[in-house]
Amino acid sequence: MPRSEKWTLADRLDFEALVAADERATDLAAIAARDARLWEEKIAPSLNAEERSNRATVFHRWLEARRPGEILPGKWFTSTSRWFNASAILAGLVLGFAVASGALYYAGERPVNIAVFLAVTVGVQWILLLWTLVVMLSSGIRATSQHLLARLGEGIGQALASVADHLSGERRMRLRAELATLRQLSGRNLQPLVWTPLLALQSFGVFWNAGVLLALLARVLFTDVAFGWESTVANSPNGMYALVKALATPWLLFGLNFCPSLEQVEHSWFHYQSGMAALDRGATVSWWPWLILFVFVYGMIPRSLLRTYFRTRMRLAMRQLSFDEPRHRAAWHRLTGPVIHSNRPVSEATPSSQHGFTATSVTRAQIGCLLVDTSLVSAKGEIEQWVAKQLGWKLACSEVVEVDYPSGNDAALARVAATLPAAPCWLIAVPAPFTAFSAFTQFAARVGALTNETTKSEGFVVVVALDAQGKPKAPDPEWMRYWSDFLRAEETGCVTFSYAP
């Protein structure tokens, strides 16, 4: 994604919602006409030649053009995440302040135990962080948690399958297609969503530490408080002093000499037997700068670093998002698709597209292979013309295949394989009605394997019906819908078109 186009998570959500809605639409001609109009009137005029071939830029403009009048999740997501983040900040500040205030309770009978104070304010955070680290690093725990998640997913899957079994064929296929889309969304394209709650969690942590520091400062500045340490097993203050000094190393290195001396440590060692009278007031007070720096260095800074890390990861994830899912490519071809004059001489007049709009070429003519099912052989010529006209392809080869016979078609597929390096796009023309879907899945997998071996290629499917005379016509919308759902559910990665004469 180019840096010039700033995609936010809200943008991406809105974009995915729009392309997903288009994918479910039944009136394909209407959405093609809409996109052709948007391209012509709003997108193309504002872009230069280089920008027109950049999907991120084009799609961003398309999104901006479509947003007015649409109810989209991005705005809702933005306000919700802001609210969520603000709540996390407020909750962190209030809870940190409250917990620290409780730990700083002092009524003159015994000093505030610094170990307890640090345990409930900073220690808890470290325990949670360490636990997260253990989970991330420990293969056993990770495997167990993954196993549990898998079992949960399996249970949900079985429940859905039993529900789906009561649905009609087309509804079950619709459900499968929607689940496949959700899987794709959650798998890659909406990964940045995961970082949103993690960022809020780090905001909570940062402001928890801020609350702790505020409570500590308020207590020290405006009330009388004494700090001390206790131990049953210690024989001398030397060990405690060494520990305190070691912990203060980070700020001592920067010349901030805020660390109790050995005498101060010794005179803030509380024993119930001796009581408060045995402690030195100066020594008990001397701890507070050390405590503030401790909370700052071991609490505030790690959480701030983590927050920065998550924010960076989220930005990186946003940059790594691509636009190569079938639904994205379908939208791309709608926008730039009716490439009518792309491979014609410049002097030739630009004919109108089927929707009455004058299409502007944005891509060079691609070279592709056409595979026509044997049942459509009577319409092969028209289909070839349609491909050339609607997709702007120059056909490197056009073969007749039996899509219900995956292991057959050797000769035709060998010719396709020979052509593919120079022709990275392939399109299968399939009939509607059609029933051998499992066979087609296997056939498409074979074609996919063949083309992936050769080159990184793009696959398309065009659904064609025949009239009584064997001429091609647009398929029945229900069959088109079923084909489209089936290809989504099988995650073939193919863009689906409806033939329109």
Residue choice 5, 263, 402, 491 for contact with another protein (CB under 8 A):
402
Q: Give CA–CA dist 245/258, Å, rounded.
A: 10
Q: CB–CB of 387/416 below 8 Å?
A: no
- Report, in Å, the least distance between residue 405 CB and another protein: 5
Q: Give CA–CA dist 9/314, Å, rounded.
A: 9
478 lies in the binding site for another protein (CB under 8 A) = yes
Under 8 Å CB-to-CB from 164, ≥6 apart: which residues?
Answer: 172, 175, 176
Residue choice 46, 438, 452, 455 for contact with another protein (CB under 8 A):
438
Q: CB–CB of 227/284 below 8 Å?
A: yes
Nearer Cβ to another protein, position 358 or 441? Answer: 441
24 lies in the binding site for another protein (CB under 8 A) = no
Q: CB–CB of 182/327 below 8 Å?
A: no
What the block records as the tokens of 376 is 């459509």
Under 8 Å CB-to-CB from 266, ≥6 apart: which residues?
Answer: 237, 241, 283
What the block records as the tokens of 132 is 């997260």
469 lies in the binding site for another protein (CB under 8 A) = no
Residue choice 170, 263, 384, 491 for contact with another protein (CB under 8 A):
170
214 lies in the binding site for another protein (CB under 8 A) = no
64 lies in the binding site for another protein (CB under 8 A) = no
169 lies in the binding site for another protein (CB under 8 A) = yes
Q: How far is Cα of residue 247 from the mean position of the Cα atoms in its chain?
A: 40
> Residue 227: enclosing H or E segment and its boundaries?
strand 227-228
What the block records as the tokens of 419 is 């052509």
Nearer Cβ to another protein, position 298 or 482? Answer: 482
- Report, in Å, the least distance between residue 148 CB and another protein: 23
Q: CB–CB of 190/12 below 8 Å?
A: yes
260 lies in the binding site for another protein (CB under 8 A) = no
351 lies in the binding site for another protein (CB under 8 A) = no
437 lies in the binding site for another protein (CB under 8 A) = yes
- Report, in Å, the least distance between residue 169 CB and another protein: 4
482 lies in the binding site for another protein (CB under 8 A) = yes
Q: Give CA–CA dist 338/61, Å, rounded.
A: 19
Q: Give CA–CA dist 313/138, Å, rounded.
A: 22
> Residue 310: enclosing H or E segment and its boundaries?
helix 301-320
491 lies in the binding site for another protein (CB under 8 A) = no
Residue choice 119, 129, 252, 436 for contact with another protein (CB under 8 A):
436
- Report, in Å, the least distance between residue 435 CB and another protein: 4
Q: Give CA–CA dist 33/17, Å, rounded.
A: 19
435 lies in the binding site for another protein (CB under 8 A) = yes
Q: CB–CB of 128/241 below 8 Å?
A: no
- Give 470's DSSP letter: S
Stretch that binds another protein, among 126-134, 147-155, 213-221, 432-440 (CB under 8 A): 432-440
405 lies in the binding site for another protein (CB under 8 A) = yes
Residue choice 400, 441, 491, 493 for contact with another protein (CB under 8 A):
441
442 lies in the binding site for another protein (CB under 8 A) = yes
Nearer Cβ to another protein, position 216 or 444? Answer: 444
236 lies in the binding site for another protein (CB under 8 A) = no
Q: Count of residues binding another protein (CB under 8 A)?
A: 22
Under 8 Å CB-to-CB from 36, ≥6 apart: which residues?
Answer: 334, 335, 338, 353, 355, 357, 359
- Report, in Å, the least distance between residue 166 CB and another protein: 9
Nearer Cβ to another protein, position 258 or 437? Answer: 437
Residue choice 65, 439, 450, 474 for contact with another protein (CB under 8 A):
439
Summarize as ranges the residues that interact with another protein (CB under 8 A). 165, 168-170, 173, 375, 402, 404-408, 433, 435-439, 441-442, 478, 482
